Amino acid sequence: MGLAGGLALFLIGMAEVTDALKALGDDRLRWALARLSSNRLLGATTGGVVTAVIQSSSVTTVLTVGFVSAGLLSLTQAASVIIGANLGTTVTAQVIALKITDYALALLAVGALLGVSVKRRQVRYMGSAVAGLGFVFLGMDIMSDAMSPLRSYDPFLRLMSDATNPLTAVAMGVAFTGLVQSSSATTGIVVVMAADGLISLETAIAIILGANIGTCVTALLAAIGKGSEAFRTAMVHVGVNVIGASIAVFFIPQIAAVVESISTSEVNASPRQIANAHTLFNMANTAVFLVFLTPLVTLVRRIVPDRAGRIAGEGQAAFLDEDLIDTPVLALEMVHKEVMRMGLKARELLADAVPAAIDGRRAELDALVEREQNIDELHAQILDYLGAVGQRRLGPDQRDDMLSMLAAANAVEQLSDTIESQVINKGYQRLENIVEVSESTRELLDELHAAALDTLDLSLVAVGERSWKLTKQVLKTKSGFRDLEAETSRHLAERLAAPEGGRVETYSFEIELMEALDLVHRNCRRIVRALRLPDKPD
């Protein structure tokens, strides 16, 4: 019971430290992961620093898998972050190796005092982190006391004699870490056991190598249900840790000799030696795999083929990852991508709708209506996602960005509705009234159609780049479209009044289609009005 209770306190403490430190810099840490990974060295440094701060390589890996799934990171960038995360997690082992278990209750007291007596949120989080460390060391102290009788317990001694085989010790580390989902917990127990003389340094190193492999379970679980790139990211984590540990297991005596030579001055050097061995192994692993990063990524791509994961259907969102909702700065970037995707679907709908309205068959019109319904479904998903993001704590800039994306999504949806009700429905009327558009009128309607498409293209680029200059260009297209519209209107009136005359049904269809394109053009311009841009050109 002492061992189980001590382990529980240890895990509670580690979770408290991780949650508190994440809260202190949540958005900044996630932004760093997503943005500061432009090259392999920077990516590894970012992964190492973030992991050292939040005290969990598993959290870093899960976030990285989510970013790859959302399209924020490439597989190569993600691989460098994960390699660095393995090095960052060694900080935990170094902290555990500090001989401050006697001060566990003092840490709890200080943490509790900061948590209840200070109003500033940052200080309260820091108090939670300090209290979490107190739980970590209190748990280790309880585990140490609970394991003391094991020195003379025959079944345990026989088990430990089997663990002198490196492969057995590695398997123990894999199994225990996979079970508790924390390599830090395995490291903590190994440190306590080594300090009490229950296991040798070489056995401890082998168990920690196994812990490095066991922590891959978290990454694999995080990749379930996501696309092939996310699963490949998890497999990079597996590859780095399994290959690295498999090679290092043959050099355990040499690693033990090195760490013993640099830790001989301490009275009970086992905890420090284990921490140093953990750091030494991961430093070497990081250096080697950064050099061979490209072959590693190539190998993983060959092992993991493309598979159906989060491939979006016609009416399904492609970028709205639920894992990013708690990080508004990244979630809004995903919404921006989804709004652009929605805009491109509306652009394709407009491109096909006018020709179909002029001379398409009923089956073509029906297919266009179904495509418009897919845009409506996508719009509904964007609204739901923005609603969830809006429940989080947003800064002024994030609030403005959210409102811009909401207005842009609404404008695109209104455009698609206009295309259906004003353009596609005209095609059904043409079929009912058996209308045939003349070649000269078709040319003018094609010009109006092309002008509307050009304006929509410019609007989408303006939204994509958040450009004031392009927004002004979009708004200036109004006069040019009006000129084309006036020319078309004169042409239709002249044809109707010509001596040979013209059918009233044909004239009504043509003039209404022209007016429909005018409404479409207005909606195209309305899209850029959604942007909350500065009052001066970019």
| Residue 474 and residue 462 in contact, taking contact as beta carbons nearer than 8 Å | yes
> What's the count of helices (H) and strands (E) in the chain, helices before strands?
24, 0
Tell me how far apart the alpha carbons of residues 278 and 271 are, in angstroms, rounded to a whole number: 11
Look at residues 236, 269, 303 and tell me which one is the last residue of a structural domain. 303
pLDDT surpassing 70 at residue 28: no
Q: What is the pLDDT of residues 366-382, one digit of tens each?
A: 999 999 999 999 999 99
What are the tokens at 458?
Answer: 């410019």
| Residue 481 and residue 411 in contact, taking contact as beta carbons nearer than 8 Å | no
State residue 308's pLDDT score: 47
What are the tokens at 324?
Answer: 């990013």
Tell me how far apart the alpha carbons of residues 112 and 491 are, in angstroms, rounded to a whole number: 82
Stretch among 3-12, 157-166, 338-347 having the lowest mean pLDDT: 157-166
| Residue 380 and residue 416 in contact, taking contact as beta carbons nearer than 8 Å | no
More confident of the two residues 212 and 52: 212
Does residue 316 lie within any of the structural domains? Answer: no
Confidence band of 27 (pLDDT split at 50, 70, 90): low
Q: What is the pLDDT of residues 111-133, one digit of tens each?
A: 888 877 767 777 777 888 788 87
Tell me how far apart the alpha carbons of residues 435 and 427 are, in angstroms, rounded to a whole number: 10
- Percentage of residues of the chain with pLDDT beyond 70: 81
Give this prediction's pTM: 0.58
Please report the DSSP string for 484-527 in residue order: HHHHHHHHHHHHHHSTT---HHHHHHHHHHHHHHHHHHHHHHHH
Stretch among 220-234, 312-326, 430-444 having the lowest mean pLDDT: 312-326
For the ranges 39-48, 277-286, 313-322, 493-502, the one whose mean pLDDT is highest? 277-286
Does residue 139 lie within any of the structural domains? Answer: yes
Residues 298 and 330 occupy one common structural domain: no
pLDDT surpassing 60 at residue 178: yes
Residues 391 and 450 occupy one common structural domain: yes
Look at residues 269, 303, 337 and tell me which one is the last residue of a structural domain. 303
Tell me how far apart the alpha carbons of residues 406 and 420 are, in angstroms, rounded to a whole number: 21
For the ranges 54-58, 219-223, 229-233, 293-297, the one whose mean pLDDT is highest? 293-297
Residues 141 and 245 occupy one common structural domain: yes
State residue 38's pLDDT score: 62
Stretch among 119-133, 251-265, 412-426, 490-504 having the lowest mean pLDDT: 490-504
Rounded to 10 degrees, what is the CA torsion of 328, 330, 334, 339? 60
Does residue 310 lie within any of the structural domains? Answer: no
Q: Residue 403: which CATH number?
A: 1.20.58.220
State residue 410's pLDDT score: 93
Mean pLDDT of 176-183: 74
Residues 326 and 287 occupy one common structural domain: no
Mean pLDDT of 455-459: 92
Mean pLDDT of the chain, nearest integer: 80
Residues 178 and 226 occupy one common structural domain: yes
Q: What is the pLDDT of residues 233-273, one digit of tens each?
A: 888 888 888 999 989 989 988 988 888 888 665 556 777 88
State residue 153's pLDDT score: 62
What are the tokens at 472?
Answer: 């002004």
Half-sphere exposure of 62 (CA within 13 A, CB side): 14
Residues 373 and 454 occupy one common structural domain: yes
What are the tokens at 153?
Answer: 């317990």
Does residue 308 lie within any of the structural domains? Answer: no
Does residue 334 lie within any of the structural domains? Answer: yes
More confident of the two residues 395 and 436: 436
Q: What is the pLDDT of residues 290-309, one digit of tens each?
A: 888 888 888 888 888 765 44
Does residue 100 lie within any of the structural domains? Answer: yes
Look at residues 273, 303, 333 and tell me which one is the last residue of a structural domain. 303
Amino acid identity for residue 153 in this structure: Y
Confidence band of 332 (pLDDT split at 50, 70, 90): confident
Closest CA to 365 of 424, 417, 315, 293: 424
Q: How many domains does the chain have?
A: 2
State residue 348's pLDDT score: 94
| Residue 296 and residue 79 in contact, taking contact as beta carbons nearer than 8 Å | yes
Residues 403 and 501 occupy one common structural domain: yes
Residues 243 and 379 occupy one common structural domain: no
Residues 23 and 126 occupy one common structural domain: yes
| Residue 371 and residue 349 in contact, taking contact as beta carbons nearer than 8 Å | yes
Residues 117 and 222 occupy one common structural domain: yes
Does residue 311 lie within any of the structural domains? Answer: no
Does residue 313 lie within any of the structural domains? Answer: no
End-to-end CA distance of the chain: 66
State residue 25's pLDDT score: 54
State residue 86's pLDDT score: 80
More confident of the two residues 223 and 338: 338
With the C-alpha atoms ordered 136, 137, 140, 146, is the resulting torsion angle positive or negative? negative
**Boundaries of domain holding 43:** 2-149+158-303
Residues 292 and 341 occupy one common structural domain: no
| Residue 82 and residue 61 in contact, taking contact as beta carbons nearer than 8 Å | yes
Mean pLDDT of 64-78: 72
State residue 535's pLDDT score: 46
Please report the DSSP string for 273-296 in residue order: HHHHHHHHHHHHHHHHHHHTHHHH
Q: CA 456: distance to chain centroid? A: 29
Residues 391 and 520 occupy one common structural domain: yes
